[in-house]
Amino acid sequence: MSVGASDKAFHVSWDQFHRDARALAWRLAEIGPFTAIVAITRGGLVPAAIIARELDLRIVESICVASYDADNRQGKLEILKPVAAAIAQAEGGKTLVIDDLVDTGATARIVRTLLPKAHFAAVYAKPLGRPYVDTFMTEVSQDTWIYFPWDLGLAFQAPIATGR
């Protein structure tokens, strides 16, 4: 879905995102322990840092997957940087994969082929993506566009009733 394709918008502040990521960490603490965390970039970098701190994980890796084009339309998936071989080879169910959002599940599916035993978690999940993550914090409708705090600047927000 591209920006503007939906009338539903979910604006997430830095405070709210931090609270949601910490709440996800509480859920994951009950499931762990984990030995390493893999952030799906770019969106998974911020929650991975928060969760790594909360779970005292020192091995932090990333996998770089491009799935949105310059116009924020989901397109062909491309792995720009794979997971380090040491993580991929040692992966025995103790690796935690983090993303900010699972939308359609396309990114999670491709990463799961590389780390099939990892525990996948996302802060936010949409219905089409839910089957591809093991743990998530908050579900939003498929037709909602999430505006993350790193995508926003401070500006006036019109009341919902005005429709503008």
Q: Cite the active site residues.
A: 99-100, 103
- The residue assigned the tokens 């040692």 is 90
Q: What SS3 state is found at 80? A: strand
The length of the chain in residues reads 164
Tokens of 117: 């035993």
Beta bridge partners of 145: 9
* Rounded CA separation 70/163 (Å): 27
